[in-house]
Amino acid sequence: PAVKLYRLLRFDTLQLALSPIDFNEIQRIAHNQRAEFHQFWTDYERLRNWVADLIAAGVAEGKFIECDQQETAGLLLNFDEGAQKRTRLHTDEGDRVAEAIRVAEQVAVIAVRGLLKRPSEIARISGQAAQFDDAAMIIPGRPTPRTGR
């Protein structure tokens, strides 16, 4: 569960950071117009439950600390939603992409390390996650590990 959670948080942060629209603005509008944004909240709840399930699995395996899994899942998503603001200051697209990748990696490291009973395991977990180039699914023109193009 630790590697899956790491990848999910890294991917979500990167996706939000590279979006042309600030997610926090969408969320504010959705909050004020709940009926019109019903599907948004359904999808968001599904994502939060997925994160909570990964946390619960880590706790059950004895790898993660005991915590309120739903509350922690919500806080981790709030962390990656806030982190995307770091990239909005870049006007150069190349700088923005590099910053987004760096920030996404930091969010994943900080979040997962904070849940680990043995924080020193983060190097192994980030190493395993590094085998997957999740950024290739988001960044146009980035070569994928399978095809090399």
Determine the longest span between alpha carbons in the chain, in angstroms.
Answer: 45
Structure confidence by residue, pLDDT tens digits, 103-115: 999 999 999 999 9
Q: How large a percentage of the chain has pLDDT more than 70? A: 89
**CB neighbours of 111 closer than 8 A, spacing ≥ 6?**
5, 6, 9, 76, 79, 80
Note the pTM of the prediction, 2 decimals. 0.86
Sign of CA dihedral 130, 132, 137, 139: positive
If 0-12 CB within 10 Å is exposed, 13-18 middle and 19+ buried, where does residue 44 land? middle
Of 40-44, 77-81, 94-98, 137-141, the least confident: 137-141
Residue with structure tokens 């996650």?
129
Choose between 139 and 90: higher pLDDT.
139
- CA 125, CA 109: separation in Å to the nearest integer? 9
- CA 88, CA 82: separation in Å to the nearest integer? 11
Whether residue 22 has pLDDT greater than 60:
yes
> What is the pLDDT, as a whole number, of residue 140?
66
